[in-house]
């Protein structure tokens, strides 16, 4: 079996760490900035950054509707922090009209931006993650949380009583940044999902 081709959306945010984590998990990882690059990948990571800026860069690069279409067609995707926000079906505190974060609708969930507070309120801690054999080190930076999930959405982790990791089918999202910790298990889970081995019933 060939290594899956997994792209990292590289319009804004921390791409390098995700590329390294994906390669450590056995993927052929590359950046995605163009429609042709999006069309060529088997899965996509949407990194952290600023969700409003990322939304409008997707528009500027003519990627918003193609990405929505690929997600609707079953493209495996993983979103971290701002990526979680964009993968939601509904975004609370999305921003002012004209510069609001634009949901991609990859997961049936309602996400609140910057729910844990501002940059100075960033924190980290060890939390249980469904399906992993030990806690993950979760780094929260201006992090969102999930306020509502649909019936088909699996909750994978909580922090301070709030949902911070979810999965629906082939789409995974975390409010935290596993790419900065050196623990590649979340990325390995996603690569397994791209390969079709990450059974939701087993996670």
Query: Is residue 202 situated within a structural domain?
Result: no
Q: Supply the pLDDT for residue 201.
A: 47
Give a yes or no: residue 91 inside a domain: yes
Helix then strand count (H, E) for the chain reads: 6, 12
* CATH assignment at residue 37: 3.40.50.880
Task: Give the single-character DSSP code of 95.
Answer: -
202 pLDDT higher than 50: no
pLDDT, one tens digit per residue, over 21-74 is 999 999 999 999 999 999 999 999 999 999 999 999 999 999 999 999 999 999
Output the average pLDDT for the chain.
92
- Whole-number Å distance between alpha carbons of 176 and 174: 5
Residue 203 lies in a domain: no
**Which of 50-59, 77-86, 117-126 has maximum average pLDDT?**
77-86
- Is residue 196 marked as binding? no
Residue of 109, 58, 187 whose CA lies nearest to 176: 187
Instruction: Report if residue 200 sits inside a domain.
Output: no
User: Taking every pair of C-alpha atoms in the chain, what is the biggest distance, in angstroms?
Assistant: 47
| Tokens representing residue 199 in the block | 């059974």
Whether residue 124 is annotated as binding a ligand: the answer is no
Overall number of domains in the chain: 1
Instruction: Supply the pLDDT for residue 104.
Output: 97
Per-residue pLDDT, 197: 75
- Classify residue 201: in a domain, yes or no: no
Query: What is the reported pLDDT for 97?
Result: 62
How high is the pLDDT of residue 203? 39
User: What is the C-alpha separation between 30 and 35, in angstroms, rounded?
Assistant: 14
Annotated ligand binding at 142? The verdict is yes
Catalytic residues: 81, 177, 179
Q: Is 51 annotated as a binding residue?
A: yes
Tell me: pLDDT of 173 over 80: yes
CA neighbor of 13 nearest in space, from 81, 90, 106:
81
Range of the domain at 187: 5-195
pLDDT higher than threshold 50 for residue 120: no
Assigned domain for 80 exists: yes
Judged against a pLDDT cut of 60, whether residue 121 lies above it is answered with no
Give the global pTM.
0.93
């Amino acid at each position: 079996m060939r290594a899956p081709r997994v792209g990292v959306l590289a319009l804004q945010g921390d791409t390098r760490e995700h590329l390294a984590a994906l390669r450590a998990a056995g993927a052929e990882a590359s950046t995605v900035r163009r429609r042709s690059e999006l069309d060529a990948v088997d899965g996509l990571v949407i990194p952290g950054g600023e969700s409003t800026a990322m939304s409008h860069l997707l528009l500027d690069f003519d990627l918003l509707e193609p990405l929505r279409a690929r997600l609707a067609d079953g493209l495996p995707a993983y979103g971290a922090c701002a990526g979680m926000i964009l993968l939601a079906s509904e975004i609370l505190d999305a921003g002012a009209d004209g510069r609001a974060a634009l949901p991609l609708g990859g997961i049936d969930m309602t996400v609140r931006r910057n729910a844990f507070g501002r940059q100075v309120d960033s924190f980290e801690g060890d939390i249980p993650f469904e399906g992993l054999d030990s806690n993950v080190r979760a780094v929260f930076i201006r992090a969102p949380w999930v306020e509502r999930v649909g019936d088909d959405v699996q909750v994978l982790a909580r922090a301070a009583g709030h949902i911070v990791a979810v999965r629906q089918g082939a789409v995974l999202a975390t409010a935290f940044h596993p790419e900065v910790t050196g623990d590649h298990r979340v990325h390995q889970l996603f690569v397994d999902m791209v390969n079709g081995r990450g059974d939701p019933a087993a996670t």
